[in-house]
């Protein structure tokens, strides 16, 4: 079992749990994810982080940016400056058997959550 948390974020992975082995959370919310949902979230957030890294050196210190990305059932938004940014995610539940969720992490919890999420998959 992997369990990590910090101010404003939580992440847990327990592969012994059937169905929903992942838990993600913010300061006032938490949700369990399937392995496929967690893999999709990981890909989405890595994509947003890569986009931010490509343009961050072009931003002035006081300049802010909003990046959005759609991948499979996930939508995500990275919003902030070159050094401080937050994340918002939406799992788009389509159909009778699908569920949806919305969550966010403000800075600096967003950076800490993404760093922890990387360690789960690396």
Please give the domain boundaries of the chain with CATH numbers for all domains. 2-121 (2.30.31.10)
For residue 40, give Cα distances in angstroms to 46, 56, 70, 121.
10, 24, 10, 12
Name the residue among 43, 8, 9, 44 with its Cα closest to residue 23.
9
pLDDT digits (tens, 9 = 90+) for 13-56: 999 998 999 999 999 999 999 999 999 999 999 999 999 999 99
pLDDT of residue 96: 64
- Distance, in Å, from the CA atom of 11 to the CA atom of 102, rounded to the nearest integer, reads 16
pLDDT digits (tens, 9 = 90+) for 69-117: 999 899 999 999 999 999 999 999 776 667 899 999 999 999 999 999 9
């Amino acid at each position: 079992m992997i369990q990590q948390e910090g101010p404003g974020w939580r992440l847990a992975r327990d592969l012994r749990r059937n169905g929903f082995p992942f838990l993600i959370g913010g300061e006032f919310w938490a949700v369990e994810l399937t392995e496929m949902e967690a893999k999709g979230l990981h890909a989405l957030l890595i994509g947003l982080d890569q986009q931010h890294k490509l343009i961050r050196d072009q931003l002035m210190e006081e300049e802010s940016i909003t990046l959005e990305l759609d991948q499979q059932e996930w939508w995500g938004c990275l919003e902030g400056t070159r050094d401080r940014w937050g994340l918002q995610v939406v799992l788009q539940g389509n159909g009778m058997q699908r569920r949806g969720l919305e969550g966010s992490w403000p800075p600096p919890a967003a950076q800490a959550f993404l760093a922890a999420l990387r360690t789960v998959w690396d």
